[in-house]
A and B are shown apart, each in its own frame.
Chain A
Amino acid sequence: GDSVTQMEGPVTLSEEAFLTINCTYTATGYPSLFWYVQYPGEGLQLLLKATKADDKGSNKGFEATYRKETTSFHLEKGSVQVSDSAVYFCALNYGNKLVFGAGTILRVKS
């Protein structure tokens, strides 16, 4: 079945450091790919999405590129801030059903 694998956390970075959170997927067909973010005590917020191969999603300085050849959708940000501390979920959408990765906790120190 469809699945998503994310790098385990927590990831701890200093402010202004470069961020990469790896995400790979297994799916039949060609799903859409998403990154969601969850702040403490809140629901999930859409961060960015990509609907087909080679699409790049971007938002708030975060970027991810849909790589069909490596079945990956790695999340990157050039300079993280303390306010980016949260849990990040990679997900695929096939048939309006989201399959999520386990989530990666990001902690940014000032």
Chain B
Amino acid sequence: KAGVTQTPRYLIKTRGQQVTLSCSPISGHRSVSWYQQTPGQGLQFLFEYFSETQRNKGNFPGRFSGRQFSNSRSEMNVSTLELGDSALYLCASSLLSQDSPGANVLTFGAGSRLTVL
């Protein structure tokens, strides 16, 4: 069973540019979440999508956006990049059981490492 696939794995951008990151969830998983990991702030929740709808959003500026497609694949976009956006962006997918949502196990991809110069 294939895991969560994120592309690209590494990318370098300059300030002011925009970037799009892609995530393919595990087959059958309909929930996709995004997290930002930095040395200073640690792991922070960005947003979660289920059935093409954003269900939850973290405390990030509007420059950070995302979407989910009908095949559950997801993309996130960061516009007008800043130096502080340099981070490892992690995508996670889960089955999202309605019976016990808190017990859902999130499976993470290897991440996309973004460097902003």
A43 near B56: Cβ-Cβ < 8 Å: no
A22 at interface, CB cutoff 8 A: no
A89 at interface, CB cutoff 8 A: yes
In the complex, which residues of chain B have a beta carbon less than 8 angstroms from the beta carbon of A49?
Answer: 103, 105
B103 near A51: Cβ-Cβ < 8 Å: yes
A51 near B108: Cβ-Cβ < 8 Å: no
CB distance from B33 to the nearest CB of A (A): 7
Instruction: Give bound CA distance, A89 to B43, whole Å.
Output: 9
A81 at interface, CB cutoff 8 A: no
Q: For window 76-110 of chain A, which residues contact chain B by CB distance below 8 Å?
A: 89, 93-103
What 0/1 readout, one digit per residue, does chain B (86-107) give for beta carbons within 8 Å of chain A? 0000101010100011111111
A51 near B90: Cβ-Cβ < 8 Å: no
Which of B56, B107, B109, B110 contacts A95 (CB under 8 A)? B56
B42 near A103: Cβ-Cβ < 8 Å: yes
Most central of B58, B100, B102 by chain A CB within 10 Å = B102
Residues of chain B having any CB pair with chain A under 8 Å:
4, 6, 31, 33, 35, 42-43, 45, 48, 55-56, 58, 90, 92, 94, 96, 100-111
CB-defined A-B contacts under 8 Å, sample of 9: A32-B102, A32-B103, A42-B110, A43-B109, A45-B108, A95-B101, A97-B45, A97-B58, A102-B42
